[in-house]
Amino acid sequence: MKEILVLYYSHYGAVKQMAHLIARGIEQVPGVAARIRTVPEVSAVCETIEKGVPDSGAPYAEFKDLEECCGLALGSPTRFGNMAAPLKHFIDGLGPEWSRGTLAGKPAAVFSSTATMHGGQEVTLVSMMVPLLHHGMLVVGLPYTEPELNSTRSGGTPYGATHVSGTANDRPVSDEEAKLAFALGKRLATVAKKLAA
Ligand SMILES: Cc1cc2nc3c(=O)[nH]c(=O)nc-3n(C[C@H](O)[C@H](O)[C@H](O)COP(=O)(O)O)c2cc1C
Protein backbone atom coordinates (compact mmCIF):
# COMPACT_ATOMS: atom_id res chain seq x y z
CA MET A 1 0.00 0.00 0.00
CA LYS A 2 1.37 3.43 -0.96
CA GLU A 3 0.87 6.22 1.55
CA ILE A 4 0.50 9.99 1.27
CA LEU A 5 1.48 12.07 4.28
CA VAL A 6 -1.22 14.57 5.28
CA LEU A 7 0.76 16.91 7.51
CA TYR A 8 -1.05 19.81 9.13
CA TYR A 9 -1.11 22.26 11.99
CA SER A 10 -4.46 23.41 13.37
CA HIS A 11 -5.16 25.45 16.49
CA TYR A 12 -8.96 25.78 16.36
CA GLY A 13 -9.79 22.73 14.24
CA ALA A 14 -10.62 24.14 10.79
CA VAL A 15 -7.44 22.91 9.07
CA LYS A 16 -7.84 19.58 10.87
CA GLN A 17 -11.27 19.18 9.25
CA MET A 18 -9.77 19.99 5.85
CA ALA A 19 -6.98 17.44 6.45
CA HIS A 20 -9.56 14.71 6.99
CA LEU A 21 -11.47 15.68 3.84
CA ILE A 22 -8.24 15.53 1.83
CA ALA A 23 -7.47 12.14 3.40
CA ARG A 24 -10.88 10.86 2.26
CA GLY A 25 -10.05 11.97 -1.30
CA ILE A 26 -6.66 10.23 -1.12
CA GLU A 27 -8.27 6.99 0.03
CA GLN A 28 -10.65 7.08 -2.92
CA VAL A 29 -7.71 5.96 -5.08
CA PRO A 30 -7.24 2.16 -4.89
CA GLY A 31 -3.94 1.13 -3.34
CA VAL A 32 -3.27 4.52 -1.72
CA ALA A 33 -3.79 5.37 1.97
CA ALA A 34 -3.47 8.62 3.93
CA ARG A 35 -1.08 8.91 6.86
CA ILE A 36 -2.32 11.86 8.96
CA ARG A 37 0.21 13.65 11.14
CA THR A 38 0.42 16.97 12.95
CA VAL A 39 3.19 19.05 14.53
CA PRO A 40 3.61 20.28 18.13
CA GLU A 41 3.01 23.86 19.19
CA VAL A 42 6.10 26.03 19.46
CA SER A 43 6.74 28.18 22.50
CA ALA A 44 8.27 31.61 22.87
CA VAL A 45 9.91 30.14 25.99
CA CYS A 46 12.69 27.98 24.58
CA GLU A 47 12.92 25.84 27.72
CA THR A 48 9.31 24.63 27.35
CA ILE A 49 9.29 21.15 25.82
CA GLU A 50 6.14 19.65 24.30
CA LYS A 51 5.17 16.10 25.19
CA GLY A 52 6.38 13.57 22.62
CA VAL A 53 2.84 12.29 22.01
CA PRO A 54 -0.25 14.54 21.79
CA ASP A 55 -3.13 13.91 24.23
CA SER A 56 -5.53 13.27 21.34
CA GLY A 57 -5.77 13.36 17.57
CA ALA A 58 -3.07 12.68 15.00
CA PRO A 59 0.44 11.71 16.13
CA TYR A 60 3.30 14.15 15.63
CA ALA A 61 5.14 13.75 12.34
CA GLU A 62 8.53 12.07 12.37
CA PHE A 63 11.18 12.51 9.70
CA LYS A 64 10.72 8.90 8.62
CA ASP A 65 7.13 9.77 7.57
CA LEU A 66 8.63 11.95 4.83
CA GLU A 67 10.83 9.09 3.62
CA GLU A 68 8.11 6.45 3.70
CA CYS A 69 5.36 8.42 1.96
CA CYS A 70 5.11 8.89 -1.81
CA GLY A 71 3.44 12.31 -1.62
CA LEU A 72 2.62 15.15 0.79
CA ALA A 73 -0.46 17.26 1.53
CA LEU A 74 0.61 20.19 3.72
CA GLY A 75 -1.97 22.26 5.63
CA SER A 76 -1.80 25.36 7.81
CA PRO A 77 -4.07 28.15 9.00
CA THR A 78 -3.20 31.60 7.68
CA ARG A 79 -1.13 33.63 10.12
CA PHE A 80 -0.87 37.16 8.72
CA GLY A 81 -0.82 35.81 5.17
CA ASN A 82 1.72 33.09 5.86
CA MET A 83 1.86 29.58 7.29
CA ALA A 84 1.74 29.13 11.07
CA ALA A 85 5.01 28.97 13.04
CA PRO A 86 4.67 25.34 14.27
CA LEU A 87 4.56 24.05 10.69
CA LYS A 88 7.34 26.39 9.57
CA HIS A 89 9.39 25.21 12.55
CA PHE A 90 8.99 21.60 11.43
CA ILE A 91 9.94 22.49 7.84
CA ASP A 92 12.96 24.47 9.03
CA GLY A 93 14.24 21.26 10.64
CA LEU A 94 14.36 19.42 7.30
CA GLY A 95 17.95 20.29 6.34
CA PRO A 96 19.11 16.64 6.25
CA GLU A 97 16.04 15.62 4.21
CA TRP A 98 16.72 18.50 1.79
CA SER A 99 20.36 17.47 1.29
CA ARG A 100 19.42 13.79 0.84
CA GLY A 101 16.59 14.63 -1.59
CA THR A 102 14.05 12.73 0.51
CA LEU A 103 11.12 14.62 -1.03
CA ALA A 104 12.58 15.27 -4.50
CA GLY A 105 10.32 14.09 -7.31
CA LYS A 106 7.34 13.42 -5.02
CA PRO A 107 4.07 15.29 -5.60
CA ALA A 108 2.70 17.77 -3.05
CA ALA A 109 -0.48 19.78 -2.49
CA VAL A 110 -1.25 22.54 -0.01
CA PHE A 111 -4.36 23.56 1.93
CA SER A 112 -5.33 26.30 4.35
CA SER A 113 -8.02 28.11 6.29
CA THR A 114 -8.54 31.81 6.95
CA ALA A 115 -10.97 33.67 9.18
CA THR A 116 -11.91 36.12 6.43
CA MET A 117 -12.65 35.79 2.73
CA HIS A 118 -9.80 37.99 1.54
CA GLY A 119 -7.49 37.33 4.48
CA GLY A 120 -4.63 35.85 2.49
CA GLN A 121 -5.57 32.32 1.41
CA GLU A 122 -3.76 32.32 -1.93
CA VAL A 123 -0.62 34.03 -0.65
CA THR A 124 -0.47 31.53 2.23
CA LEU A 125 -0.78 28.60 -0.17
CA VAL A 126 1.93 29.99 -2.44
CA SER A 127 4.22 30.67 0.53
CA MET A 128 3.75 27.03 1.56
CA MET A 129 4.75 25.86 -1.93
CA VAL A 130 8.09 27.69 -1.80
CA PRO A 131 9.94 25.36 0.62
CA LEU A 132 8.38 22.34 -1.10
CA LEU A 133 9.86 23.52 -4.41
CA HIS A 134 13.26 23.86 -2.70
CA HIS A 135 12.89 20.22 -1.72
CA GLY A 136 12.24 19.30 -5.36
CA MET A 137 8.57 18.43 -4.89
CA LEU A 138 6.13 18.55 -7.80
CA VAL A 139 3.26 20.83 -6.78
CA VAL A 140 -0.27 19.77 -7.73
CA GLY A 141 -3.16 22.24 -7.75
CA LEU A 142 -6.82 22.15 -8.74
CA PRO A 143 -7.99 22.60 -12.35
CA TYR A 144 -11.08 24.63 -13.29
CA THR A 145 -12.62 21.43 -14.61
CA GLU A 146 -13.66 21.04 -10.95
CA PRO A 147 -17.06 22.78 -11.19
CA GLU A 148 -16.98 24.00 -7.57
CA LEU A 149 -14.02 26.27 -8.38
CA ASN A 150 -16.45 28.33 -10.47
CA SER A 151 -19.39 28.23 -8.07
CA THR A 152 -17.79 28.61 -4.62
CA ARG A 153 -18.75 31.67 -2.60
CA SER A 154 -16.19 30.90 0.12
CA GLY A 155 -12.96 28.86 -0.04
CA GLY A 156 -11.42 26.76 -2.80
CA THR A 157 -8.66 27.96 -5.14
CA PRO A 158 -6.63 26.63 -8.07
CA TYR A 159 -3.56 26.77 -5.79
CA GLY A 160 -5.02 24.38 -3.23
CA ALA A 161 -7.99 23.65 -0.99
CA THR A 162 -9.17 26.31 1.46
CA HIS A 163 -11.89 27.09 3.97
CA VAL A 164 -13.19 30.41 5.28
CA SER A 165 -13.80 29.73 8.98
CA GLY A 166 -15.25 33.13 10.02
CA THR A 167 -13.88 35.46 12.65
CA ALA A 168 -15.41 33.30 15.41
CA ASN A 169 -14.20 30.10 13.68
CA ASP A 170 -17.80 28.94 13.57
CA ARG A 171 -18.50 28.61 9.84
CA PRO A 172 -18.91 24.99 8.78
CA VAL A 173 -16.97 23.72 5.78
CA SER A 174 -19.23 24.45 2.78
CA ASP A 175 -20.17 21.80 0.22
CA GLU A 176 -17.92 23.42 -2.37
CA GLU A 177 -14.97 23.65 0.03
CA ALA A 178 -15.43 19.99 1.00
CA LYS A 179 -15.71 18.79 -2.61
CA LEU A 180 -12.58 20.71 -3.61
CA ALA A 181 -10.60 19.35 -0.63
CA PHE A 182 -11.71 15.84 -1.56
CA ALA A 183 -10.79 16.48 -5.23
CA LEU A 184 -7.34 17.74 -4.25
CA GLY A 185 -6.64 14.62 -2.17
CA LYS A 186 -7.82 12.37 -4.98
CA ARG A 187 -5.75 14.24 -7.58
CA LEU A 188 -2.63 14.12 -5.41
CA ALA A 189 -3.04 10.37 -4.82
CA THR A 190 -3.64 9.70 -8.52
CA VAL A 191 -0.46 11.57 -9.49
CA ALA A 192 1.57 9.96 -6.68
CA LYS A 193 0.45 6.48 -7.72
CA LYS A 194 1.45 7.11 -11.35
CA LEU A 195 4.83 8.56 -10.35
CA ALA A 196 5.56 5.71 -7.94
CA ALA A 197 4.64 3.01 -10.49
C1 LIG B 1 -2.03 35.23 15.02
C2 LIG B 1 -3.11 34.98 14.03
C3 LIG B 1 -3.02 35.52 12.76
C4 LIG B 1 -4.04 35.33 11.83
N5 LIG B 1 -3.94 35.90 10.59
C6 LIG B 1 -4.99 35.80 9.74
C7 LIG B 1 -4.96 36.46 8.48
O8 LIG B 1 -3.95 37.06 8.07
N9 LIG B 1 -6.06 36.39 7.70
C10 LIG B 1 -7.20 35.70 8.09
O11 LIG B 1 -8.19 35.71 7.38
N12 LIG B 1 -7.23 35.03 9.26
C13 LIG B 1 -6.15 35.06 10.08
N14 LIG B 1 -6.18 34.38 11.26
C15 LIG B 1 -7.30 33.48 11.56
C16 LIG B 1 -6.99 31.99 11.23
O17 LIG B 1 -6.23 31.84 10.05
C18 LIG B 1 -8.30 31.24 11.06
O19 LIG B 1 -9.06 31.37 12.24
C20 LIG B 1 -8.11 29.77 10.71
O21 LIG B 1 -9.32 29.28 10.17
C22 LIG B 1 -7.76 28.93 11.95
O23 LIG B 1 -7.48 27.61 11.54
P24 LIG B 1 -7.51 26.44 12.64
O25 LIG B 1 -8.94 26.34 13.11
O26 LIG B 1 -7.09 25.21 11.90
O27 LIG B 1 -6.55 26.80 13.70
C28 LIG B 1 -5.17 34.54 12.18
C29 LIG B 1 -5.23 33.96 13.46
C30 LIG B 1 -4.22 34.17 14.38
C31 LIG B 1 -4.33 33.55 15.74
Quickly list DSSP for 3-43.
EEEEEE--SSSHHHHHHHHHHHHHTTSTTEEEEEEE-----
CA torsion, points 171, 177, 181, 184, in degrees to nearest 10?
A: -150
**b vs e for 94-120, b when ≥16 Cβ sit within 10 Å of the residue's Cβ?**
beebeeeebbeebbbbbbbbbbeeebb
Q: Which atom of ligand 1 is nearest to the CA of 9?
A: 26
pLDDT given at position 116: 98
Q: Is residue 54 within 6 Å of ligand 1 at its C-beta?
A: no
Instruction: State pTM to two decimals.
Output: 0.97
Sign, Cα dihedral of 134, 189, 152, 170: negative
Q: CA-CA distance, 78 to 102, in Å (whole number)?
A: 27
Per-residue tens of pLDDT for the chain, all 197 residues: 999 999 999 999 999 999 999 999 999 999 999 999 999 998 877 666 677 788 888 999 999 999 999 999 999 999 999 999 999 999 999 999 999 999 999 999 999 999 999 999 999 999 999 999 999 999 999 999 999 999 999 999 999 999 999 999 999 999 999 999 999 999 999 999 999 98
CA of 2 to the centre of ligand 1 (A): 33
Task: Identify the pLDDT of residue 51.
Answer: 73
Q: What is the dihedral of CA 3, 57, 76, 188, to 10 degrees?
A: 20
Q: Please, what's the b/e burial string for 162-171 (b: 16 or more CB within 10 A of its CB; e: otherwise)?
A: bbbbeeeeeb
Closest CA to 74 of 117, 125, 142, 14: 125
In 3D space, the residue among 155, 166, 190 whose CA is nearest the CA of residue 71 turns out to be: 190
Do 42 and 85 contact (CB within 8 A), yes or no? yes
Rounded Cα–Cα distance for residues 117 and 82 (Å): 15
State which ligand 1 atom lies nearest to the alpha carbon of 169: 19
Q: Whose CA is nearest to atom 19 of ligand 1?
A: 115
What's the gap in Å between 118 CA and the centre of ligand 1?
12
Measured torsion, CA atoms of residues 15, 16, 21, 25, in degrees rounded to the nearest 10: 100
pLDDT for the residue numbered 47: 62
pLDDT of residue 52: 74
**DSSP class of residue 161?**
E
Q: Are 33 and 27 in contact (CB under 8 A)?
A: yes
pLDDT at 171: 97
Q: What is the chain's Cα-based Rg? A: 16
